[in-house]
Amino acid sequence: MENGIANLLGALSLAVMDRIEQGAREVVGRGGETPAALIVIGYGQGMTNDKLRRILGLSHSGTVRLVDRLVSDRLVERRAGKDGREVALHLTATGAAARNELLASRISAVTSLLDVMSPAERKQLATLIRELLARQDTSEMDRFTICRMCDDRVCTNCPLPTNKGQHAR
């Protein structure tokens, strides 16, 4: 059946995310979108509450409370934004350290599944996944959403297309 591949990818994705989420919970002591929020804020482009909300796919109030948790955990600070309405989210030193741990934990979780493959197989798989992602029809915000856990220290050449509405940002 042609759907066999869909089922296999579904199973693999579940296994991958189980491991990533377990590691993330151990590192930051929180679940849900909180780990992703820490990573996204760490990208450092003067993240606002509202932008974060759209990237994480949460409601507005859910995002405010999520940031409340990060602030009470001393991982994030709310600073004044350019616009008097906006809040600029910044990582504290502790937050930046936690973020690095989080990224390392994620890479390690995925690597532990991948290291049964030979270097040639890994290269082949990387090429296929890169193509798969590159051909997706993703909006600017979709791209941030998919990449909300991505390790910017490792992913120097993101395959996702940046041109859906033809103009970025």
Which residues sit at the interface with its own copies, rule CB under 8 A? 1, 3-18, 20, 57, 106-107, 109-111, 113-114, 116-117, 121-126, 128-133, 135-136, 145-151, 154-157, 159
Instruction: Give min distance, CB of 110 to its own copies, in A.
Output: 4
Instruction: Give min distance, CB of 150 to its own copies, in A.
Output: 6
CA separation for the pair 93, 120 (Å, rounded):
39
Instruction: Give min distance, CB of 51 to DNA, in A.
Output: 7
Long-range contacts of 137-141 (CB under 8 A, 24+ apart): 137/161, 137/164, 138/164, 139/164, 139/165, 140/164, 140/165, 140/168, 140/169, 141/54, 141/55
Which among 32-40, 91-99, 109-117, 120-128 is the span making contact with DNA, rule CB under 7 A?
32-40
- Closer of 73 and 151 to DNA (Cβ): 73
The Cα-based distances of 116 to 15, 105, 112 in angstroms read: 15, 18, 8
The neighbour count for residue 24, using CB atoms within 10 Å, is: 26
CA separation for the pair 34, 119 (Å, rounded):
34
Q: Does 58 bind DNA (CB under 7 A)?
A: yes
Out of 17, 19, 21, 30, the only residue in the binding site for DNA (CB under 7 A) is 30
Residues in region 74-93 near DNA by CB under 7 A:
78, 81, 83-87
Which of 76, 53, 74 has the alpha carbon at shortest distance from 64?
Answer: 53
Q: Does 135 bind DNA (CB under 7 A)?
A: no
Look up tokens 């409601």; give the residue.
59
Q: Does 158 bind DNA (CB under 7 A)?
A: no
Q: Which residues of the chain form contacts with DNA (CB under 7 A)?
A: 30-34, 48-51, 53, 57-67, 69, 78, 81, 83-87
